[in-house]
Amino acid sequence: MDKPTKQRIALLHPSIRDEVTQIIEECDLALTGKAKVRITQGLRTIEEQNDMYAQGRTKPGKKITNAKGGQSIHNYGFAVDICLMIDDKVASWDNKKDWDNDKVADWYECVKIFAKHGYEWGGNWKTFKDMPHFEKRNLTWQKLSELKKDKQGYVILNPA
Protein backbone atom coordinates (compact mmCIF):
# COMPACT_ATOMS: atom_id res chain seq x y z
CA MET A 1 0.00 0.00 0.00
CA ASP A 2 1.46 3.36 -1.00
CA LYS A 3 1.96 6.40 1.22
CA PRO A 4 -0.87 8.56 -0.27
CA THR A 5 -3.34 5.71 0.33
CA LYS A 6 -2.21 5.29 3.95
CA GLN A 7 -2.50 9.05 4.53
CA ARG A 8 -6.03 9.14 3.12
CA ILE A 9 -7.14 6.10 5.14
CA ALA A 10 -5.88 7.84 8.31
CA LEU A 11 -8.43 10.64 7.70
CA LEU A 12 -11.44 8.36 7.14
CA HIS A 13 -14.02 7.85 9.90
CA PRO A 14 -12.23 5.86 12.63
CA SER A 15 -14.86 3.09 12.44
CA ILE A 16 -13.83 2.08 8.90
CA ARG A 17 -10.07 2.70 8.79
CA ASP A 18 -9.06 -0.89 9.57
CA GLU A 19 -11.69 -2.26 7.20
CA VAL A 20 -10.57 -0.05 4.30
CA THR A 21 -6.96 -0.99 4.99
CA GLN A 22 -7.97 -4.65 4.73
CA ILE A 23 -9.92 -4.03 1.52
CA ILE A 24 -6.98 -2.29 -0.16
CA GLU A 25 -4.63 -5.08 0.95
CA GLU A 26 -7.05 -7.70 -0.45
CA CYS A 27 -7.30 -5.81 -3.74
CA ASP A 28 -3.53 -5.53 -4.03
CA LEU A 29 -3.16 -9.28 -3.34
CA ALA A 30 -5.80 -10.11 -5.96
CA LEU A 31 -4.11 -7.90 -8.56
CA THR A 32 -1.06 -10.01 -9.23
CA GLY A 33 0.12 -7.96 -12.20
CA LYS A 34 1.45 -4.44 -12.34
CA ALA A 35 -1.65 -2.66 -10.95
CA LYS A 36 -2.11 -1.64 -7.31
CA VAL A 37 -4.92 0.37 -5.72
CA ARG A 38 -4.48 3.99 -4.69
CA ILE A 39 -7.12 5.93 -2.80
CA THR A 40 -7.37 9.28 -4.57
CA GLN A 41 -10.05 10.78 -2.29
CA GLY A 42 -11.36 9.94 1.15
CA LEU A 43 -12.60 12.48 3.65
CA ARG A 44 -13.63 15.68 1.89
CA THR A 45 -14.43 18.97 3.61
CA ILE A 46 -17.70 20.80 3.05
CA GLU A 47 -15.71 23.56 1.31
CA GLU A 48 -14.02 21.07 -1.03
CA GLN A 49 -17.41 19.53 -1.80
CA ASN A 50 -18.95 22.91 -2.59
CA ASP A 51 -16.00 23.73 -4.84
CA MET A 52 -16.50 20.46 -6.74
CA TYR A 53 -20.27 21.11 -6.97
CA ALA A 54 -19.57 24.54 -8.52
CA GLN A 55 -17.63 22.95 -11.38
CA GLY A 56 -19.83 22.92 -14.48
CA ARG A 57 -22.28 25.26 -12.79
CA THR A 58 -20.70 28.52 -11.65
CA LYS A 59 -17.13 27.46 -12.54
CA PRO A 60 -15.85 26.20 -15.90
CA GLY A 61 -15.64 22.48 -16.61
CA LYS A 62 -17.77 19.40 -16.70
CA LYS A 63 -20.11 18.59 -13.81
CA ILE A 64 -18.38 16.08 -11.57
CA THR A 65 -20.86 15.74 -8.71
CA ASN A 66 -24.52 16.26 -7.88
CA ALA A 67 -23.76 16.58 -4.16
CA LYS A 68 -23.43 19.93 -2.43
CA GLY A 69 -21.38 20.30 0.74
CA GLY A 70 -22.82 17.99 3.42
CA GLN A 71 -24.62 15.85 0.83
CA SER A 72 -21.73 13.49 0.08
CA ILE A 73 -20.74 10.45 2.11
CA HIS A 74 -17.15 11.70 1.58
CA ASN A 75 -17.99 14.63 3.90
CA TYR A 76 -18.38 12.16 6.78
CA GLY A 77 -15.39 9.94 5.99
CA PHE A 78 -17.34 6.88 4.80
CA ALA A 79 -16.39 6.93 1.09
CA VAL A 80 -13.29 6.53 -1.04
CA ASP A 81 -12.43 7.09 -4.67
CA ILE A 82 -9.72 4.92 -6.18
CA CYS A 83 -7.51 4.56 -9.20
CA LEU A 84 -5.13 1.80 -10.22
CA MET A 85 -1.44 2.69 -10.14
CA ILE A 86 0.38 0.90 -12.94
CA ASP A 87 3.98 0.02 -12.08
CA ASP A 88 3.74 2.64 -9.28
CA LYS A 89 3.99 5.36 -11.97
CA VAL A 90 0.80 5.89 -13.98
CA ALA A 91 -2.71 6.38 -12.61
CA SER A 92 -5.42 4.48 -14.50
CA TRP A 93 -9.20 4.56 -14.27
CA ASP A 94 -9.55 1.95 -17.03
CA ASN A 95 -12.20 -0.47 -15.78
CA LYS A 96 -11.72 -2.95 -18.63
CA LYS A 97 -7.98 -3.62 -18.50
CA ASP A 98 -6.78 -6.96 -17.14
CA TRP A 99 -3.22 -6.10 -16.09
CA ASP A 100 -2.68 -9.47 -14.38
CA ASN A 101 -4.08 -11.55 -17.28
CA ASP A 102 -6.44 -13.61 -15.12
CA LYS A 103 -9.42 -13.03 -17.48
CA VAL A 104 -11.09 -10.58 -15.04
CA ALA A 105 -10.70 -6.83 -15.38
CA ASP A 106 -8.64 -5.61 -12.43
CA TRP A 107 -11.18 -2.89 -11.63
CA TYR A 108 -13.96 -5.48 -11.25
CA GLU A 109 -11.78 -7.62 -8.99
CA CYS A 110 -11.71 -4.60 -6.67
CA VAL A 111 -15.45 -3.95 -7.08
CA LYS A 112 -16.13 -7.51 -5.85
CA ILE A 113 -13.83 -7.12 -2.86
CA PHE A 114 -15.41 -3.81 -1.81
CA ALA A 115 -18.89 -5.35 -2.19
CA LYS A 116 -17.91 -8.32 -0.02
CA HIS A 117 -17.15 -5.83 2.76
CA GLY A 118 -20.47 -4.00 2.42
CA TYR A 119 -19.54 -1.11 0.12
CA GLU A 120 -21.69 0.25 -2.67
CA TRP A 121 -19.98 1.03 -5.97
CA GLY A 122 -20.81 4.28 -7.76
CA GLY A 123 -20.52 2.42 -11.06
CA ASN A 124 -23.83 0.70 -10.24
CA TRP A 125 -25.73 3.97 -9.83
CA LYS A 126 -28.48 4.54 -12.37
CA THR A 127 -28.30 8.28 -13.05
CA PHE A 128 -24.83 9.60 -12.19
CA LYS A 129 -22.31 6.79 -12.54
CA ASP A 130 -19.21 7.41 -10.45
CA MET A 131 -16.80 4.63 -11.40
CA PRO A 132 -13.99 5.39 -8.90
CA HIS A 133 -16.39 5.75 -5.94
CA PHE A 134 -17.09 3.27 -3.11
CA GLU A 135 -19.14 4.09 -0.02
CA LYS A 136 -20.27 2.21 3.06
CA ARG A 137 -23.74 0.75 2.40
CA ASN A 138 -26.79 1.75 4.43
CA LEU A 139 -25.44 5.19 5.35
CA THR A 140 -27.08 8.29 3.94
CA TRP A 141 -25.86 11.84 4.14
CA GLN A 142 -29.27 12.79 5.56
CA LYS A 143 -28.85 10.44 8.54
CA LEU A 144 -25.18 11.32 9.01
CA SER A 145 -25.87 15.06 8.94
CA GLU A 146 -28.22 14.69 11.95
CA LEU A 147 -25.65 12.95 14.18
CA LYS A 148 -23.54 14.64 16.83
CA LYS A 149 -19.79 14.88 16.29
CA ASP A 150 -16.88 13.97 18.55
CA LYS A 151 -13.95 16.26 19.45
CA GLN A 152 -12.18 15.37 16.19
CA GLY A 153 -15.25 16.27 14.10
CA TYR A 154 -16.35 12.72 13.20
CA VAL A 155 -19.99 11.73 13.55
CA ILE A 156 -20.80 9.51 16.53
CA LEU A 157 -22.54 6.42 15.16
CA ASN A 158 -23.52 4.76 18.45
CA PRO A 159 -23.81 7.35 21.19
CA ALA A 160 -23.36 5.85 24.66
Confidence (pLDDT) at 131: 94
Q: What is the pTM of this model?
A: 0.93
Percent of the chain with pLDDT over 90: 90
List, in order, residues 6 or more apart from 127 with CB less than 8 Å away: none
Q: Give the pLDDT confidence score for residue 127 in this predicted structure.
A: 86
Predicted local distance difference test score (pLDDT) of residue 160:
56
Q: Which residues of the chain have pLDDT under 70?
A: 159-160
- Whole-angstrom Cα distance, residue 110 to residue 30? 8
**HSE, side-chain direction, 13 A CA sphere, residue 99:** 24
Burial of 87 (C-beta count, 10 Å sphere; 0-12/13-18/19+): exposed
pLDDT at 138: 87
Give the Cα-Cα-Cα angle 74, 63, 129 (nearest 5 degrees). 65
pLDDT at 76 (0 to 100) = 97
Yes or no: say if 84 and 99 are a contact pair by the CB < 8 Å rule: yes
- Provide the CB-side half-sphere exposure for 28 (13 A, CA): 18
